[in-house]
Amino acid sequence: MFFISGNAVATDNEVTESESIKVCAIPQLYDYLEEYRKEYTLGKLDITYASSTMIYASVINKQMSCDIFLGNDQKFPARYINMGLADSSSFGNFTRTALTLFSVTSIIDSNCDVLNKDIYSKIIMPSPKYNVSGFAAAQIIDLYSKNNPKLKEKIVYSDNEYSALTSIVNGYAMLGFLPYNMVIDNKLTKKGSFCLFSDTEYEPINYYYLIFKNNKNVQATTRFKDYLFSDKSRLILKKHGYK
């Protein structure tokens, strides 16, 4: 987990200081949001990156103030809504990514057929209990284990997606499940092979926004949310492995 905060000053002279938007986002969105903010001229952005768990703990303990939350685990927006910190009308899905199987070797073909073969000792995945991509990977394992019963014996778990990637790159596991946004445009994954699973084989890895009730800049935050769906934003999302 990591925690980064930074500001971006808008070029629009009509934007006032009071319109600063506090964005709390998970680290997986870092590359996208840092490019997004270069294009964004409708307000001043203050973006903090941390895990959904860390953001949640900081918000409920009043250690952090967020105007809008961006993450991929919908149970956290649900908690905020149930606690009265946000309304269901302020919650929505703005993008998604795909699930991949990655290796630093050339062992993987485009059809992910390697999962039907017994030529590897370990497959690593983020813990399904704490990671949306891990839950999706567990569904893939259930599906492919029908043809390869030994598949489940080879599964090892990591705390999160970043530790799974490190384990693959360092050779601890030959194969691993990762979200596509971590495989595309990543220095650590330039060498190797990967395949994409069909969206019909697992529950989508969606990314959500949630606007908080205590937001002091409702109009500015709404503009920021709307810009997530703009043509420029969609192009940046696609570049970084989102749909």
Instruction: Look up residue 140 and give its amino acid.
Output: I
Instruction: Report residue 15's pLDDT band, with 50, 70 and 90 as the boundaries.
Output: very low
Residues 6+ apart with CB under 8 A from 64: 24, 48, 55, 58
pLDDT average, residue stretch 218-240: 95
Mean pLDDT of the chain: 91
Q: How many Å apart are CA 83 and CA 178, to the nearest integer?
A: 32
**Are 213 and 84 in contact, with CB atoms under 8 Å apart?**
yes
**Are 213 and 206 in contact, with CB atoms under 8 Å apart?**
no
pLDDT average, residue stretch 66-95: 96
pLDDT average, residue stretch 143-168: 95
Q: How many Å apart are CA 189 and CA 142, to the nearest integer?
A: 26
What does pTM read for this prediction? 0.88
Q: Is the pLDDT of residue 210 over 80?
A: yes
Q: Is the pLDDT of residue 1 over 50?
A: no
Instruction: Look up residue 156 and give its amino acid.
Output: V
pLDDT average, residue stretch 119-147: 95
The residue among 159, 179, 181, 167 whose CA lies nearest residue 104 is: 167
Q: What is the pLDDT of residue 61?
A: 95
Task: Using a pLDDT cut of 70, give the percent of the chain over it.
Answer: 92
pLDDT average, residue stretch 199-208: 95
- Ramachandran assignment for 185, one of left (phi > 0), alpha (psi -120 to 50 degrees), beta (any other): left
Q: How many Å apart are CA 201 and CA 111, to the nearest integer?
A: 13
Least reliable range by pLDDT among 13-22, 107-116, 193-202, 234-243 = 13-22
Partners of 103 in the β-ladder: 193
Q: What is the pLDDT of residue 186?
A: 86
Q: Is the pLDDT of residue 11 over 50?
A: no
Instruction: Report residue 18's pLDDT band, with 50, 70 and 90 as the boundaries.
Output: low
